[in-house]
């Protein structure tokens, strides 16, 4: 199946712009920037959307405007209206299980406590969709409850934030690679610990 929709999770508003929880938003912004795409607000989906062409594939980009915990209210109606199946979309979200500068791609799976993913699973009725998880942990750490909320809704000190942005760049690369070569190929290429993108393979 071709990837037809890439969704970056996050929260709208200047107060959240550079927070860790907005890793998904930052990633799709990066992709849109690469293709000189302009965002527009689609009120009926409570989302910002745009379209790009990656090779021969038309891909929708989306940033839900519902706030993180209600992301499904954007994703569900959009997929229903456009006829997009779960395995034709990619969700990009922050993940405290991985350190900054790293990502992990999965073809399917549980929400792992991420409320944005939880609501999307509710809205589309399945967890069988690909996702790219952007590491946000400054180091191996255990954060729970209010500590988790406080952590993800802040930005890191400058040096660590720079490393975090490397992960965002890497996630954008992985999303593009998934469209061009398939999610499994992207998993084989990107699912390893690294702090910089792999070199481009000229024969691809």
Selecting among 21, 111, 114, 161, the annotated active-site residue is 21
Q: Is 161 one of the annotated active-site residues of the chain?
A: no
DSSP 8-state assignment for residue 104: E
188 neighbors 107 (Cβ within 8 angstroms): no
Whole-angstrom CA distances from 115 to 8, 55, 67, 69 are: 14, 33, 10, 5
Residue 115: CA atoms inside 13 Å, Cβ hemisphere, count?
A: 12
Q: What is the C-alpha to C-alpha distance for residues 40 and 22, in angstroms, rounded to an integer?
A: 18
Query: Which of 102, 84, 120, 133 minimizes the C-alpha distance to 195?
Result: 102
* C-alpha dist (Å) from residue 75 to 61, 88, 158: 11, 12, 33
Residues with a catalytic annotation lie at: 21
């Amino acid at each position: 199946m071709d990837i037809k929709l890439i969704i970056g999770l996050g929260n709208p508003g200047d107060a959240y712009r550079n927070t860790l929880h907005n890793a998904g938003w930052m990633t799709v912004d990066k992709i849109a920037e690469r293709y000189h795409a302009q965002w527009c607000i689609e009120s009926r989906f409570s989302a910002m959307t745009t379209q790009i062409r990656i090779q021969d594939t038309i891909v929708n980009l989306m940033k839900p405007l519902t706030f993180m915990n209600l992301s499904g209210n954007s994703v569900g109606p959009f997929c229903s209206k456009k006829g997009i199946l779960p395995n034709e979309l990619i969700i990009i979200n922050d993940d405290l299980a991985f350190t900054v500068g790293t990502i992990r791609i999965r073809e399917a799976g549980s929400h792992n406590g991420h409320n944005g993913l939880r609501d999307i699973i509710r809205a589309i009725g399945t967890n069988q969709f690909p996702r790219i998880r952007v590491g946000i942990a400054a180091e191996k750490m255990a954060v729970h409850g209010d500590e988790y909320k406080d952590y993800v809704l802040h930005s890191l000190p400058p040096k660590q934030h720079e490393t975090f942005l490397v992960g965002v760049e890497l996630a954008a690369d992985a999303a593009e690679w998934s469209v061009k070569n398939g999610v499994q190929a992207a998993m084989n290429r990107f699912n390893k610990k690294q702090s910089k993108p792999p070199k481009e393979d000229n024969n691809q």
